[in-house]
Amino acid sequence: MASVSSRNGQLFGMATVKEKIDSAGGVTTGFDYLRIVLSISVLTWHSIWISTGSVALDQSIWTGPYRFLPAAILPMFFALSGFLVAGSLLRNRLHQFVTLRVLRLVPALAVEITLSALLVGLVFTTLPAREYLTSRLFFMYFFNIIGHIQYYLPGVFHDNPVQGVVNGQLWTIPFELKCYLALIVLAVLTLVKRPGLFAVLVVGFLLAQTVWLYLGHPLAADEHVPGRVLTFSFLAGVAIYLKRDRVPCSNWLGLLSVIAAGTLLQFANLSYLAVIPIAYMTLWLGLMRPPAIPFGDLSYGVYLFHFPVEQAIVASWPQGMSWWLLTIIALPLTAICAWLSWNLVEKPTLTRKKAIVGKVDQAWVAMATLINPARRLSKAS
């Protein structure tokens, strides 16, 4: 008779997620492939928008039979992030976790924003260089580095189909930061140490949000995936990681999750119910073990650089071009930018992360030393 093993969490004899990770020595190359495929998918999707700027085309895609394809991309990205970041949270103290997240996100983002402003902007602006460099909009653009998103540079890309937008992909950055903040709060509340309750809360919120939509706040049929779906996808990835010793990893469950996610994503108002199958589908694909990618992790660089690269191509091709031609031209140029970003910015920063975290630890201890005597004095008085 089939039973659930209380010792190792196996369900009906199926290996658990934890066992899959352990059997791979903690290195699951499937996640590397998944990241780069999702990044290229974002580039391809934006090619359709950037090459046409057509609202009617956008609506037809989001109400058509293949809505699930663009609808799945970002939730999968966030579920993947949640699953991997949860491991970092459990392995480190909170200030170390925050430091590591900053080191992974900010350096490459700062370089991309600076190059967009000082290189792309100066080349493509219709304003005199002096007026461009002294514009308030130019200085505001650097707030992107701290997550305060600014899409426009003075006089840049105003004649493109997508007018004036330099870095449209950055709209997800605030949601990523909110996910990290939510995870920190949940850690402080010790909910990450109670994975069962954590999972119940995530599922409860998803059901409540779906009911809320159907009780009077429905989404339009052509509505893109709501930002909150991204946040919940992240938390679902975290929940699966926390329950990794109990969650079975099965090809049958993986295929069922693909079918369920694709079906639910066809309907805007069922987007929240798609979160759990999306998260499972993502980890199932990520736990596969293809050969290691030899050229490094280019996914973040592709995600960061593709939008200004595509806008620059369109601006240089005033007669217009098809989305597939834009994709073909933009992909190798973006890959070069991503490769340079990985080798000159991201990888060097990550190789120094232990030393940097060590310095942060020293500063943290010094600050605690200063605060504790002050607390004792206040109690004594």
Compute the residue count for the chain: 381
Phi, psi dihedrals of residue 156, rounded to the nearest 5° = -105, 130
Residue corresponding to tokens 């580039």: 43
CA atoms within 13 A on the CB side of 241: 24
Q: Assess whether pLDDT exceeds 80 at residue 26.
A: no
State which H helix or E strand residue 53 sits in: none
Rounded alpha-carbon distances, angstroms, from residue 271 to 231, 241, 316: 12, 22, 38
pLDDT(377) > 60: no
Question: Which range is most confident: 2-6, 57-61, 136-140?
Answer: 136-140
Residue pLDDT, tens place only, 38-81? 999 999 999 999 999 888 888 899 999 999 999 999 999 999 99
- The single-letter DSSP state of residue 64 is S
Q: Which of residues 134 and 296 earns the better pLDDT score?
A: 134
| Stretch 4-26: mean pLDDT | 71
What pLDDT score was predicted for residue 56? Answer: 87
Rounded-to-integer distance, Cα 80 and Cα 284, Å: 10
Question: In terms of Cα–Cα distance, which of 227, 193, 240, 245 is closest to 85?
Answer: 240
Q: Could you tell me if 266 and 67 are in contact, meaning their C-beta atoms sit under 8 angstroms apart?
A: yes
Cα–Cα distance for residue pair 250/225, rounded to 1 Å: 27
The mean per-residue pLDDT over the stretch 10-32 comes to 82
Residues 6+ apart with CB under 8 A from 110: 145
Q: What is the pLDDT of residue 217?
A: 87
Alpha helices in the chain (DSSP H): 17-23, 30-52, 55-62, 68-91, 94-115, 121-124, 129-133, 136-140, 173-188, 195-214, 227-242, 251-265, 275-286, 299-315, 323-341, 347-351, 353-380
Q: What is the pLDDT of residue 371?
A: 76
pLDDT of residue 1: 39
* Nearest CA among 98, 90, 77, 108 for reference residue 21: 90
Q: Sign of the C-alpha dihedral, residues 328, 29, 287, 180?
A: negative
pLDDT digits (tens, 9 = 90+) for 332-372: 999 999 999 999 999 999 999 999 999 999 998 888 787 76
Query: Which candidate, 297, 302, 377, 370, places its Cα nearest to that of 338?
Result: 302
Structure tokens at 304: 């960061």
